[in-house]
Structures are given as C-alpha cells and as structure tokens.
C-alpha cells in the first residue's frame, strides 16, 4: 500500500449530485463555510453540466471558461483547492487513443483556468464492453487503469504536483460483491493503476451507515492504496422527498491512518448542508476524539443565525427540531424517534392506553404548525424553499393524527374514520404513492410476497 502520509490528507465537498447545480452565490457561501470548517478542496462535477458527462468531449466556450475561471478564483480566495471531475464512461472507447487525448485536453483547458486537481469518474456506467475494448484489454479494470494512467502521465508532465483521483465502476462493497465491472475488478485495478492515483470509495454501500477502520484497511489492501472516501451519507438525489441534515458519523476513528481523504457529496439543496459541512470539519480535525452528537450541537448553534426572520426570532430548540426531523438516512434524530413512538402508540392502542403520548402528539402538532409559519418569514428565501415542502407534508400528517385522536375520543365514533380535509386523490396521492402501496417494505428491508 502507498504511504498514507506521503501526500496531504484531502478533505472537502463534492458538487456531484444529479440535479440543478448550485448558484454562484451559494458556492461563495459554500467556500466560506468550508474555509471556516478547515476543509481543503472543492470538487466540481455536477451531473447537470453537460460537459462533465454527456458531452465530455466538447470543450467549454469562451463565456463558460470565463465563468469557470471566476469560480476557480473565488475558490482560491478562500484557500481551497479546485478539483475538476470528468465522467466519460457513458460512451468512451478505451481502445481509441484519441479518447485519452481528448480527456487530457479537457482537463488541460480547466487547468489553464487555474484548477489544481482532477478526477476521472467511471461510476454509474453500462457494465458491458465494446468489442474493440474487450479485444484490446479483456477486462474493464485493465481498460480503466490504462486510460487513467495515460491521462495521468500526460497531465503530470506539466503539473507534477497534480492530485489525480479516480472513481471505479464498483465503488462500494455491494457492487464489488455483485461483480459489477467484472470479477476481481478492484484487485486488478489496484495492481494496474499508477500508485499515485487516489481511488474513490463509498464504503460497504452507496449510502453507508458506517465505514469503520477495518473496512477502510481491507479496501486499502485490495486497492494497494488507502481509499479516498466519497461520502454519500447526506446525499439525497436518489430520494428528493427527503433531506439529511444530520452530522458526519460512523466513519473511521483514525481517518488519517486508513484513508487518503474524505469528501462529502451532500444534499442537492444547498441550504440543507450547513451541518454536514461543519461536522465534517470537526471530524477531520478531532479524529478519534470526535463525538458526532457534540459536533451536531455545536453546528446547530453556528447555524442559528441563518434563520434570521421578519417575524418572531427562531430558537435553538426549533432549529434542532428541524434538523432532527430531517436527520440521516439510516437513523432518525431524537425528536423524530419520540414523534414516531408516540404516533405508534396512538395508532395501535385504545384511547385509555395512550398515556402521555396523546399530549405530546398534540403539542407536536402545535409546534409544527408554528414552525411552518415561521419558515414563511425567513429572510433567506432559499432556506424557506429548501424545507417548506417537506415540513408542510409533516404538518398535514400531524393534522390527520390530531383529527384521528379526536374521532377515537368522541362519545359515539363511527365505524370508520373519514377525515374532513385529507381526501382520497388529493392526499398521499399520485402514481408513485399508489405504486408504493403495492409492495410494502418490511422493517428488515425485505418485501413480502402478496401471493398465497
């Protein structure tokens, strides 16, 4: 394995999601947040930039170059490195030397604008090789390593200090176990890839609840270099109904001993990423002393000023509630856990057995309605737009629960409860909601057959 300490530990944020890229103003605030958090590198690779992926062979126009140069200068003004990512895997011909030349030319154009580092991404691409590529290389791993090595050699002649990152086709253990990219892809790649090229890795899963030291070392041994974590913990481009505002957690306790770096690929909605960025910085700086809940609380206090309002001032408890409702994909925040427990009690027991759950649920409803109003009064309208849709859905569900409790507690409840406002076709409606009703997912992640 390459020496972990041979180059600086790389930390930062990837703008690499599927969806509308962030605005110039949002990127300016991103860089300020990253600088304050002690992060080092911004990776530019939004899938919505056609030159990044779909039209990767096409150079940027003069006007687009001017915009990128301004972005790179803004990045450098905050003492951050600028990394440009290219994803040519949809239609590249690995056996065609001209495609490698085109890649190097595309990178050279951006480096001439001031970019510091580059990444070559072969993620989320077809798992079949063209005949010419199969005849030349025999495997995806050899083809990918050949192209990466060729481009790396061309670029480092002019920029020997360049950091070159690579994303493999199987970028998590589940993909590798399924032989995505071919049997033994990772081992073959590790042997063939130039040792100074870093390799992205997302962990056991695409969205990994935990990546421990043992897993990082195992992957490092396989790749013959410590992995560079592409962390999707707070990514939401696979389910835009959700937001993930929780902290960095469940990552190696000694990151600089088992990793070459860590980047987060966070929520598409920029305003939802303050806590992920803030806590990533705390994790990197504190290492084994990092405590995610402490970092979460510190980040909440730092985030509170963003909730400046034209109406009543937001409290820290209200911001905490917002964040704990939209926490992490594999874990709910403390407030959300209590809310779900109370709702389960009311939904599954008779009124005389509800106990304190009833009072808490009614208070939940009052609080959520109050915050829904306060969201509309935020001076930062992007912050309002980020949370309003999901918060309104929560409000509607709690309104329904309150009406249900009133019905259950009435003197002569009807046999069935028909809500007065939450009507069929206008509530929980749409094709997707109806599809979700056909195959219900069990708590263990399985889907039970509906056939006898």
The CATH class of the 316-438 domain is mainly alpha
Instruction: Average the pLDDT over 269-298 and give the result.
Output: 97
**Whether pLDDT at 297 is above 50:** yes
Determine how many CB atoms are found less than 10 A away from the CB of residue 60: 16
SS3 200: strand
Give pLDDT tens digits for 351-368.
Answer: 999 999 999 999 999 999
**Whether pLDDT at 211 is above 90:** yes
**Whether pLDDT at 136 is above 80:** yes
Predicted structure pTM score: 0.94
What percentage of residues in the chain have a pLDDT greater than 90?
A: 85
- Please give the DSSP secondary-structure letter assigned to residue 5: G
Kindly report the CA angle at 182 between 236 and 225, in degrees rounded to 5?
A: 70
pLDDT score at 450: 64
Per-domain residue ranges for the chain?
4-291, 316-438
Identify whether 124 is a catalytic site residue: yes
Terminal-residue alpha carbon distance, the chain: 54
For 193, phi then psi, to 5°, come to -75, 140
Which residue would you say has higher pLDDT here, 207 or 421? 207
pLDDT score at 439: 81
| Residue 47's pLDDT band (cuts 50, 70, 90) | confident
Instruction: Average the pLDDT over 88-117 and give the result.
Output: 95
- Please give the DSSP secondary-structure letter assigned to residue 205: S
What are the residues facing 44 on neighbouring strands?
A: 15, 84
What percentage of residues in the chain have a pLDDT greater than 70?
A: 98
| Residue 213's pLDDT band (cuts 50, 70, 90) | very high
pLDDT score at 1: 46
pLDDT score at 451: 59
**Whether pLDDT at 5 is above 60:** no
**Whether pLDDT at 416 is above 90:** no
Half-sphere exposure of 13 (CA within 13 A, CB side): 31
Contact status, residue 118 vs residue 83, Cβ threshold 8 Å = yes
pLDDT score at 2: 44
Mean pLDDT, rounded, of the chain: 94
pLDDT score at 433: 81
**Whether pLDDT at 449 is above 90:** no
| Residue 67's pLDDT band (cuts 50, 70, 90) | very high
Contact status, residue 119 vs residue 85, Cβ threshold 8 Å = yes
Instruction: Average the pLDDT over 259-285 and give the result.
Output: 98
pLDDT score at 116: 97
Which of these is catalytic: 48, 96, 124, 212?
Answer: 124
CA-CA distance, 296 to 279, in Å (whole number)?
Answer: 7
Please state at what angle helix 24-37 crosses helix 274-286, rounded to 10 degrees. 30
pLDDT score at 443: 81
Which residue would you say has higher pLDDT here, 281 or 20? 281
Give pLDDT tens digits for 227-247.
Answer: 999 999 999 999 989 999 999
Residue 253, C-beta contacts closer than 8 angstroms, at least 6 positions apart: 212, 213, 287, 288, 290
Give pLDDT tens digits for 152-187.
Answer: 999 999 999 999 999 999 999 999 999 999 999 999
Give pLDDT tens digits for 361-388.
Answer: 999 999 999 999 999 999 999 999 999 9
> Counting every residue, how long is the chain?
452
Fold exhibited by the domain 4-291? TIM Barrel (3.20.20)
């Amino acid at each position: 394995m390459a020496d972990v300490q041979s180059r600086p530990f790389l930390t930062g944020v990837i703008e690499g999601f599927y969806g509308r890229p962030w605005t110039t103003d949002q990127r300016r605030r991103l860089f300020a947040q990253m600088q304050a958090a002690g992060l080092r590198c911004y990776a530019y690779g939004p899938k919505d930039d056609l030159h990044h992926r779909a039209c990767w062979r096409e150079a940027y126009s003069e006007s687009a170059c001017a915009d990128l140069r301004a972005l790179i200068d803004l990045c450098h003004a905050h003492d951050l490195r600028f990394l440009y990512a290219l994803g040519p895997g949809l239609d590249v011909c690995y056996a065609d030397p001209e495609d490698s030349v085109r890649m190097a030319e595309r990178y050279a154009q951006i480096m001439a604008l001031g970019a510091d580092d580059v990444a070559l991404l072969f993620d989320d691409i077809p798992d079949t090789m063209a005949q010419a590529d199969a005849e030349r290389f025999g495997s995806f791993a050899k083809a990918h390593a050949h192209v990466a090595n060729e481009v790396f050699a061309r670029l480092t002649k002019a920029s020997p200090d360049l950091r070159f990152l690579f994303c493999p086709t199987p970028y998590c253990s589940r993909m590798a176990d399924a032989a995505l990219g071919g049997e033994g892809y990772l081992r073959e790649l590790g042997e063939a890839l130039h040792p100074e090229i870093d390799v992205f890795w997302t962990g056991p899963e695409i969205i990994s609840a935990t990546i421990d030291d043992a897993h990082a070392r195992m992957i490092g041994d396989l790749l013959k270099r410590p992995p560079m974590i592409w962390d999707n913990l707070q990514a939401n481009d696979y389910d835009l109904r959700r937001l993930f505002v929780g902290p960095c957690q469940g990552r190696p306790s000694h990151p600089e001993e088992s990793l070459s770096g860590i980047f987060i690929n966070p929520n598409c909605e920029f305003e939802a990423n303050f806590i992920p960025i803030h806590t990533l910085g705390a994790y990197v700086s504190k290492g084994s002393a990092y405590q995610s809940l402490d970092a979460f609380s510190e980040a909440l206090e730092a985030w509170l000023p963003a909730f400046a309002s034209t109406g009543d001032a937001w409290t820290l408890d209200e911001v905490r509630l917002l964040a704990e409702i939209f926490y992490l994909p594999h874990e709910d925040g403390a407030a959300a856990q209590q809310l779900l427990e109370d709702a389960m009690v009311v939904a599954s027991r008779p009124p005389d057995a509800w106990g304190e759950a009833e009072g808490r649920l009614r208070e939940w409803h009052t609080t959520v309605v109050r915050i829904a109003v306060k969201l509309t009064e935020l001076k930062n309208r992007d912050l309002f737009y980020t949370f309003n849709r999901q918060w309104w859905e929560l409000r509607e569900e709690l309104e329904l629960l309150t009406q249900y409790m009133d019905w259950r507690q009435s003197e002569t409840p009807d046999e069935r409860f028909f809500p007065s406002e939450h009507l069929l076709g206008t509530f929980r409606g749409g094709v997707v909601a109806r599809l979700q009703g056909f195959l219900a997912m069990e708590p263990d992640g399985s889907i039970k057959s509906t056939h006898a």
